[in-house]
Amino acid sequence: MSFLSRIMDVKSKAHFSHGGASRPAHLTGATAFQGHRKRSGKQARSRVAVIMACFGLAYCVIGGRLVQYGMTLPESVSSIGPADNLLASRPDIVDRNGEILATDIRTVSLYAEPHKIVDADEALEMIQTVLPDLDPKATYKKLTSNSRFQWLQRQLTPKQQSRILALGIPGVGFRPEKRRFYPSGAASAHIVGYVNIDNRGIAGMERYIDNQGLADLAAIGMTSDAKMEPVRLSIDLRVQSMLHDVIVESMAKYQAEAAGAVVLDVHTGEILAMASVPDYDPNNPAESAKDGWLNRMSDGTFEMGSTFKTFTTAMALDSGKVTLKDSFDARYPIRIGGFTIKDFHGKHRVLTVPEIFQYSSNIGTAKMADIVGIPAHKEFLTRLGLLSKMQTELPEVKTPSQPREWKKINSITISFGHGVSTTPLQTAVAGATLMNGGKYVPPTFLPRSREEADAMAQAVVKQSTSDDMRYLMRVNAMVGSGKRALVPGFNVGGKTGTADKVVNGRYAKNGLNFNAFLSAFPIDDPQYMVLSFIDAPKTGEGGGRTAGLNAAPMVGEIIRRSAPLLGVKPKFGEDGSALLVSY
């Protein structure tokens, strides 16, 4: 078959295909081509619509995020989030009423990547416009070092970060960190303590928290930003702030080198307030602490002077060898070992036990100690916790000092407060033992219930001895050296202590004193122990400088201002006068 014949045969078959239906060949090809074009056009339009929808959705998401950032971020450019959204890496510290004493806030620190610094001189010049206190030589050395990371400034403010960001310095960045903030500042510094630049506890209850396991967890990387339960302390921030104000004012008023005070619950051992000055601001400890590092209440030891006569008298009464009706000859000084023991304001007569306490007779007190004996004397002071290191949560606790060998001269001088150095806080705790019925309760800076305290209390003194000592303390406050501690409506009892100050192991020859006042209130049913001290005062009420003229008024002011806060109600008679307790 020829090529032409084959062509004609194909056309003939196409003309009569599909069941014999006859369609012109040229019409069938055109229709198929048009259908293909329609399908392609529809698909193209669908693809364009999908692409447009995707772009529209992307722009909506971006626009929505921009609106969100614009509404939530502060005006200054900063990576520091809002305070309500911050999580702490250390637990908050709060007082007994939930008031914050220490908390974490988020901040940022400035660092440099020296290998990315284009011009170190220019970078340094620009940074100093925001941080003028930077050491230029040290900073330049960091910017030009071979390392890949250098801290430039720790813990910036949001404003400083925003200004540095605006400079656009290559190779400089920010790293989020935590900073500890102490709202009460210096008022509770010696109790709360402070942390270092890496948020690790250095002193006070901050160090105590780390010693309970927080530091170990941090060292192995097991701490997180999860919110921790706050650590509640026993102190009352209201009383703490008031007490701090009193000792600051007294130190200035009496021109003293230092001062301190404590308020202690006699039944639970809880420290309600405690402070000593000079002190420091824990928010900036390096710059504010010169002489203020020492917590003189628990980490300083002093000869407590005649406040120790309280313990000597209690020892004599508790031994059963002395009663309140006994008398001792105080007419002549005691001469022993080349020393002469005499009274500061001697009455030069026979004195009863209450008179020995009231007139603070060294001679009478020494004779009571001599009756009891040296071994019993040492044992009694040990029972009261005055000769051993105090056990409590606060890390800064100093061990008392005493003679290696107790001889008769040592027992005599210790009886009236010379020869043994102990901490003021220990003295207050021992005083509380004599006021609460004779139970020694270890002091605590954490909340403790009466039931918990009773479970750990040790009976070390007879109830009758406690009753007698409350009577003597009240009499001394009413007619003795503690009169300036009296507060109308509140029955205050106490004992003064004026000791020659020890400087470099020797008694000062220029008449410097270390004065203290040990007191309890209300003395008919003691609830709180208050102790104050004033170191090397140059004056006092009425011009003198003994404890009754400066340490006692400090206690009176603390009781007057703290009693309402502690819920102690004043007692007044029908005529409006203060009721006095009779024994």
What pLDDT is attached to residue 82?
Answer: 46
Query: Catalytic one among 250, 306, 415, 421?
Result: 306
What pLDDT is attached to residue 434?
Answer: 98
What pLDDT is attached to residue 379?
Answer: 97
CA distance 257 to 491: 31
How much is the average pLDDT of 3-9? 40
What pLDDT is attached to residue 226?
Answer: 57
Q: How confident is the model at residue 220 (pLDDT cuts 50, 70, 90)?
A: low
Per-residue pLDDT reduced to its tens digit, 543-560: 888 999 999 999 999 999
Residue 306 appears among annotated catalytic residues: yes
The token duo for 487 is: 């507060």
Most confident of 57-66, 145-154, 501-510, 566-575: 145-154
How much is the average pLDDT of 54-73? 72
- Between 363 and 14, where is the model more confident? 363
What are residue 431's phi and psi, to 5 degrees?
-65, -40
What pLDDT is attached to residue 147?
Answer: 86
What pLDDT is attached to residue 64?
Answer: 75
CA distance 231 to 508: 43
- Between 231 and 287, where is the model more confident? 231
Helices (H), 73-195: 120-128, 136-143, 158-167, 189-192
Per-residue pLDDT reduced to its tens digit, 466-493: 999 999 999 999 998 899 999 999 999 9
Per-residue pLDDT reduced to its tens digit, 283-312: 988 776 677 889 999 999 999 999 999 999
Q: Reply yes or no on whether the pLDDT at 13 is more than 50.
A: no
Q: Reply yes or no on whether the pLDDT at 11 is more than 60.
A: no
Q: What is the largest CA-CA distance in the chain?
A: 165
Q: Reply yes or no on whether the pLDDT at 118 is more than 90.
A: no
Q: How confident is the model at residue 1 (pLDDT cuts 50, 70, 90)?
A: very low
What are residue 115's phi and psi, to 5 degrees?
-70, -15
Per-residue pLDDT reduced to its tens digit, 170-218: 888 888 878 899 999 999 999 999 998 888 899 999 999 999 877 666 6
How many Cβ atoms from other residues are within 10 Å of residue 37's Cβ? 9
What pLDDT is attached to residue 389?
Answer: 96
Question: pTM, whole model, 2 decimals?
Answer: 0.78
Q: Mean pLDDT lowest for which of 210-219, 314-323, 396-405?
A: 210-219
- Between 75 and 173, where is the model more confident? 173
